[in-house]
Amino acid sequence: MTNLQTVLDDATAAQDVPFVVAMTANSDGTTFSGAAGDARDGLKATEDTAFRIFSMTKAIGSLAAMILIDRGKISMDTQVAEVLPAWNDLKVLEGFDGDTPILRAPKTQATLRHLATHTSGMEYEFWNPDVPKYLELTGHPTVLSGLKSSLMYPLTTDPGTRWGYGPSIDWLGQVVEAVDGRRIDAFCQEEILDPLGMTDTAFEPDKLLDRLSSVSMRGEDGGFGPVDLAPPPNPEFYGMGHALYSTAPDYLRFLRMVLNRGQLDGNRVLSDAAFDEIIADQMNGLTLQKMHSVAPAVSADVEMPEGTTHSFGFVRNEADIPGMRSAGALSWAGVCNTHYWIDPSKDLAAVIMTQSLPFLEPRFQKTYQTYEQAVYAGL
């Protein structure tokens, strides 16, 4: 059996990752913690290293909406425009006539379920070539600007017809704000982070700066160089698709809440029934499609096993992967290669985290796979 720490040491020595922090846990607590390399110049990576977790924020945003569903304030079938009328201003982008976008009204109404499962019709500029062209031609700001106006991306398909990865969870966070009345950062702090004891997870990095890692990008020479990438500070709105900073132990507390079916250390954030809904396939028959990157410096292509679905909170494996995660396993990641998975049938949660681009480049993917196989070999 490969020692987990050896996996981390070898990957760092080979420069497959600039540095790495990895942990595993079961419902009772941590079962492995390891780190290798320098989180930034002069600072060793440790369990307490802080990360920009980008899309690992999404599961927390989905949980926020599920808490309100659990309380009967909204439902998965609530139409987005009922809560946020601005959604009705969005049109489907069908292409271009020269430099003029061809737009039409959507044929279906988007629901909160569509937002949570990325079937709302909205895609990031990294995954659909029409979107960056639209942003450039219209001067529309990227969602990473933190501007409220940036939410108004065009749709690329009718809601409910296709998986497409984009700013849907940012909209879901805005739904929570509109229904609850608290700003999303306050809601998450009071309803999720405080009850789960996630003291190192924050919307602004201030208290984490002495432990914050730097981001590296793979150069043409195969080595890593520094790159500046972070969620926008003090934005007009906190995007629940990308806004959080966290640490491996803190995020593991969130994952252990899932292993404990909606509660941790006696603090319940979801009822049993709502918990079943947040982890169940909510795709209405659709499955995830291969994600073709149009920004190779940011991300490689992303291919999930055939038949992969999405629950209200997580990507869902529908079949066992030999020597690795089981059917019903839940997972996702952040763009700077912070990854997690939860395998309820094996009572296992795990993270493997660095700060590097491109997302899921082959050398990182090899490290992730070796780590996951070693985790299962040790069970």
Lookup: tokens for 277? 């809904």
User: Around Cβ 305, how many Cβ atoms within 10 Å?
Assistant: 13
C-alpha closest to that of 241 among 120, 88, 73, 357: 120
DSSP 237: S
Q: What is the pLDDT along the chain (379 residues), one digit of tens a residue?
A: 579 999 999 999 999 999 999 999 999 999 999 999 999 999 999 999 999 999 999 999 999 999 999 999 999 999 999 999 999 999 999 999 999 999 999 999 999 999 999 999 999 999 999 999 999 999 999 999 999 999 999 999 999 999 999 999 999 999 999 999 999 999 999 999 999 999 999 999 999 999 999 999 999 999 999 999 999 999 999 999 999 999 999 999 999 999 999 999 999 999 999 999 999 999 999 999 999 999 999 999 999 999 999 999 999 999 999 999 999 999 999 999 999 999 999 999 999 999 999 999 999 999 999 999 999 999 9
CATH of domain 4-377: 3.40.710.10
| Residues 116 and 169: beta-carbon distance below 8 Å | yes
Distance CA 336, CA 245 (A): 12
C-alpha–C-alpha distance, residues 269 and 262, integer Å: 6
Distances (CA, A) of 163 to 95, 257, 285: 19, 27, 11
How is residue 31 annotated by DSSP? E
In angstroms, what CA-CA distances link 316 with 264, 281, 331, 367?
Answer: 22, 7, 7, 21
d(C-alpha 288, C-alpha 286), whole Å = 7
- Contact call for residues 32 and 20 (beta carbons, < 8 A): no
DSSP β-ladder status, 267-268 and 224-226: unpaired
How far apart CA 370 and CA 145 sit, in angstroms, is 36
Q: Are 1 and 374 a contacting pair, CB within 8 Å?
A: yes
Classified as helix, coil or strand, 282 is coil
pLDDT of amino acid 58: 98
Q: Is 39 exposed, middle or buried (0-12, 13-18, 19+ CB in 10 A)?
A: buried
pTM above 0.95, yes or no: yes
**Residue 153 C-beta-side C-alpha neighbours within 13 Å:** 28
Phi-psi region of 161 (alpha: psi -120 to 50; beta: other; left: phi over 0): alpha
Tell me which residues are annotated as active site. Answer: 55, 58, 165
Question: Tokens 């790159």 sit at which residue?
Answer: 227
Q: What is the DSSP letter of 98?
A: T
Q: Rounded CA gap, 374 and 3, in Å?
A: 7
* C-beta separation of 333 from 359 below 8 A: yes
Count Cβ neighbours within 10 Å for each residue of 222-233 and write b for 16 or more, e otherwise. Answer: eebeebeeebbe
Q: Rounded to 5 degrees, what are φ and ψ at 93? A: -85, 115
Task: Name the residue with tokens 């395998």.
Answer: 343
Strands 330-334 and 338-343: antiparallel
Give strand ranges (E) for the chain: 19-26, 29-40, 43-44, 50-52, 92-97, 100-104, 216-218, 224-226, 245-247, 263-264, 267-268, 309-310, 315-316, 330-334, 338-343, 348-353, 356-357
